[in-house]
């Protein structure tokens, strides 16, 4: 039986109130949960003894009964463009990555939800690593907590200048495959006594787990981004294998349902452009027809290479022509500026360290070796 103390970093308002009640606090004192939320998430305090407006008796109980513990930083790297990447140790041989992207009018933190990913999108470095486990609430929200701490947002017992104004669940893993923990973490992000972000400033990116998308619509509708990457099922089956289970028509129908309760009146479709794979003018025209049922914007993403990917980035002229087709059809289509690629912090490059339970990398290595041997035999005189 585990004797680990509960980590209050991952507790939302209801859980904190219940925990305080277990310690003898009267249930009619909901302000205790508010105080703890403030100290942990707004002030960045991980020492109960420093929580000056909480009674000494309760502080002493908290010291012996709980912890506030975020994943520890293994490596902190800053790119030439100011993008900052943290490698965070989450134990059991796994480390995850979080990325902060500073811009003149906002600061966006890209957060991971899993150690690895089981969906194996063919152009994603995380998917190539395999999968180990879902991250807990404290490990997810801990990335935001650490970012605020490292960026100097915490000043004394209050939040100073808020450096992280936006959060995107676009890091390692498929967020909707870790539904309960991701929703709990996002509720903390939205809580006014924690991080106080608006639902418009928290974006979840999914590859298309349709039933979970419908659940999210009811539980915690935040801004939505969908990894589309292809205009038809045949190609998307290759690039995003989950499409075989939830094809484009079902996914788009779920997107239409989602918009009814979303904080934005559109869905952002993400489309990574791969040279000679999904970037032709015919495919652009097909994409226009495919997304017609959904109020949407298209975010075109130049592919960010990684070792052994097998893909190349679309040429700038191909990106421009593809975008022009979408714009002429009346769609809003933007091209994402590549940030942090010199430290492998750009979209699709996050890898971290994954103790792969799927043995995916091992199987892929064996398959490639076998294919290489076969090719060598065919070329032999």
Q: How far apart are CA 128 and CA 365, in angstroms?
A: 11
Q: For this structure, is 139 an active site residue?
A: no
Q: Closest Cα partner for 122 from 272, 229, 238, 275?
A: 238
Q: End-to-end alpha-carbon separation of the chain, Å?
A: 64
Q: How far apart are CA 97 and CA 104, in angstroms?
A: 23
- Contact yes or no for 246/209 (Cβ under 8 A): yes
Strand ranges, E, within the chain = 72-78, 84-91, 94-103, 106-110, 114-116, 131-134, 154-155, 158-159, 166-169, 202-206, 223-227, 267-273, 296-302, 332-335
Q: Report residue 168 as tokens.
A: 């995107």
Catalytic residue, chosen from 25, 97, 139, 270, is 97
Q: How far apart are CA 77 and CA 88, in angstroms?
A: 12
Residue 27, Cβ density class (10 Å: 0-12 exposed, 13-18 middle, ≥19 buried): exposed
Q: For this structure, is 289 an active site residue?
A: no
Phi and psi based region of residue 312 (left: phi greater than 0; alpha: psi -120 to 50; beta: remaining):
beta
- Contact yes or no for 294/257 (Cβ under 8 A): no
∠ CA 309-310-313 to the nearest 5 degrees?
85
| CB neighbours of residue 120 within 10 Å | 19
Catalytic residues: 97, 347
């Amino acid at each position: 039986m585990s004797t680990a103390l509960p980590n209050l970093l991952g507790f939302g308002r209801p859980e904190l109130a219940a925990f305080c009640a277990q310690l003898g606090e009267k249930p009619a004192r909901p302000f205790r949960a508010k105080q703890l939320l403030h100290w942990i998430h707004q002030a960045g305090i991980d020492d109960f003894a420093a929580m000056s407006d909480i009674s000494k008796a309760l502080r002493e109980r908290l010291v012996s009964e709980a912890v506030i513990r975020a994943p520890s930083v293994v490596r902190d790297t800053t790119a030439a463009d100011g993008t900052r990447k943290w490698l965070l140790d989450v134990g059991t041989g796994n480390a995850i990555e979080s990325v902060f992207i500073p811009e003149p009018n906002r600061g966006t933190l890209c957060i991971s939800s899993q150690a690895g990913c089981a969906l194996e999108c063919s152009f994603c470095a995380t998917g190539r690593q395999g999968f180990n486990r879902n991250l807990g609430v404290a490990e997810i929200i801990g990335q935001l907590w650490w970012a605020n701490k490292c960026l100097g947002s915490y000043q004394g017992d209050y939040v100073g200048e808020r450096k992280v104004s936006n959060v995107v669940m676009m890091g390692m893993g498929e967020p909707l495959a870790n539904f309960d923990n991701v929703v709990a973490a996002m509720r903390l992000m939205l809580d006014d006594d924690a991080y106080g972000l608006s639902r418009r400033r928290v974006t979840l990116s999914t590859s298309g787990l349709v039933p979970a998308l419908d659940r999210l619509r009811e539980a915690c509708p935040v801004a939505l981004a969908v990894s589309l990457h292809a205009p038809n099922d045949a190609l998307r089956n290759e690039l995003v294998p989950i499409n075989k289970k939830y094809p484009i028509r079902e996914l788009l129908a779920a997107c239409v349902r989602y918009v009814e309760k979303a904080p934005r009146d559109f869905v952002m479709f993400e489309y990574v452009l791969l040279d000679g794979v999904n970037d032709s003018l015919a495919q652009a025209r097909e994409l226009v027809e495919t997304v017609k049922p959904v109020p949407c914007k298209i975010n075109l993403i130049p592919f960010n290479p990684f070792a052994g990917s097998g893909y190349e980035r679309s040429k700038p002229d191909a990106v421009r022509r593809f975008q022009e087709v979408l714009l002429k059809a009346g769609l809003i289509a933007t091209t994402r500026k590549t940030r942090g690629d010199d430290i492998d912090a750009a979209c699709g490059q996050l890898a971290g360290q994954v103790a792969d339970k799927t043995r995916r990398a091992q199987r892929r290595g064996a398959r490639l070796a076998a294919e290489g041997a076969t090719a060598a035999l065919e070329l032999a005189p």
